[in-house]
Amino acid sequence: MGTLTTQQIGRAGELLTQQKLLLLGIDSAPLTTDSGIDLVTFSKRKEDAITIQVKSNLKPKDAGGRWKLCLDWWVREDSPADLFSVE
């Protein structure tokens, strides 16, 4: 496997999230603009759109010092997304 860009890793995470939603019977659609929202789906119960931000890592990162490798996802406090998916 070649080296992936951060955009490719992010897109792969979005597709993985869409697959998981679809297996639950939930349709979703990606947004083409980078507004802090990656996917949108519709809640029949709420009768409203639900927005999702996807955070992806390809592999664990150095935590610094002598700590073990870790996965982390940074999310803005003022994120416009209703839900988050971490892949």
CA atoms within 13 A on the CB side of 26: 18
Q: What is the tens place of the pLDDT at every residue in 11-35?
A: 999 999 999 999 999 999 999 887 8
Phi, psi (rounded to 5 degrees) for 3: -75, 130
Segments of the chain scoring below 50 in pLDDT: none
Please report, for the chain, the start and end positions of each structural domain, with discontinuous segments joined by +.
Answer: 6-86
Give the per-residue pLDDT at 1.
59
What pLDDT is stored for residue 83 in this prediction? 92
